[in-house]
Amino acid sequence: MHYVILDLEWNSAYSKTTHQFVNEIIEFGAVKVDSDFNEVGEFSRLIAPRVKKKLNGRVKQLTHLTNEDVADGGSFLSVASSFGSFVDGAVIMTWGTSDIHALIENYSFYTGSRRIPFLTAYCDLQEYCERAIDRYDEGNQIGLGRFAELIGVEFSEDEQHRATADAVLSLKILKKVMGNYPLEKCILKADCEAFYDRMLFKNHFITDLSSPDIDRSQMKFVCESCGKQAKRVKRWKLHNKSFSSDFYCKSCDERFTGRVSFKKRYDGVKVNKRIVAPRPQEAKKE
């Protein structure tokens, strides 16, 4: 099995024809490795943007690319097609899912279909590497440069933010943390609609108490002192995307606030529960 570590650069543009913003991909950079993770090839191509020919200041600053550099590039579909031949059935890996989102967006824009033709299996390297060092946290993702620093992989800041350099750095990181967590667990089958549904799913907090996605049994709280179920003494209130209410334990004559949030994800609902003891001055209020 082969793997292709891919990194893209893009330029945000507004299309007057379709009245939408599109992140136009301007560079593909990738390294291909064999099953032992030895490098067997590199791919590096620029794309001439079509919607907006001038690069945004931030993109120029970050990538050191000029308008002239990209003007000489190929079209998105021709470069993507050459890249497809380079991939040749390998597992695609990217640092975080934003490159996959950009690919889906560009394919949708140019072909009207969200399908990425060369994608059959996918691995989010950011998730994999975070799991491998036991630092996986959906709400706090670690950027490529910071991750490299964290595990002591050297890199030159000047060379980063160009597609191939970022892909090479991702590979170095992967090789350093590999083996600490099974890679298969992070490889998704990607030649199916379910993959696109998963990628495009927008995680969100459920804020409607009557939603069928809310498991009411998760809204019961037990007293931290005696372990008995406490009685809810107030109506549920929505507070920073969590439901919050006050509880009373008869056995201990203690009050506390219980908070619970429900985050809807593609895989299901993630429940987060916590107990907040009332602050003394609050408890004293009439």
The binding site for Zn ion (CB under 5 A) comprises 223, 225-226, 249, 251-252
What radius of gyration do the chain's Cα atoms show?
24
Least separation in angstroms between residue 243's CB and Zn ion is 21
Query: ∠ CA 132-137-142 to the nearest 5 degrees?
Result: 75
Least separation in angstroms between residue 234's CB and Zn ion is 18
- Taking CA atoms, 120 is separated from 238, 248, 266, in Å, by 42, 54, 20
Query: Can you point out the beta strands (E) in 54-99?
Result: 91-94
Residue type for position 1 = M
200 or 233: CB nearest Zn ion: 233
Least separation in angstroms between residue 279's CB and Zn ion is 19
Contacts of 85 (CB under 8 A, 6+ apart): none
1 or 226: CB nearest Zn ion: 226
Least separation in angstroms between residue 282's CB and Zn ion is 19
175 or 234: CB nearest Zn ion: 234
Tokens, residue 26: 């301007």
Least separation in angstroms between residue 275's CB and Zn ion is 12
53 or 274: CB nearest Zn ion: 274
Query: ∠ CA 132-90-4 to the nearest 5 degrees?
Result: 60
Yes or no: say if 186 and 170 are a contact pair by the CB < 8 Å rule: no
**Minimal CB distance residue for Zn ion:** 223
H or E segment to which residue 147 belongs = helix 144-151
90 or 223: CB nearest Zn ion: 223
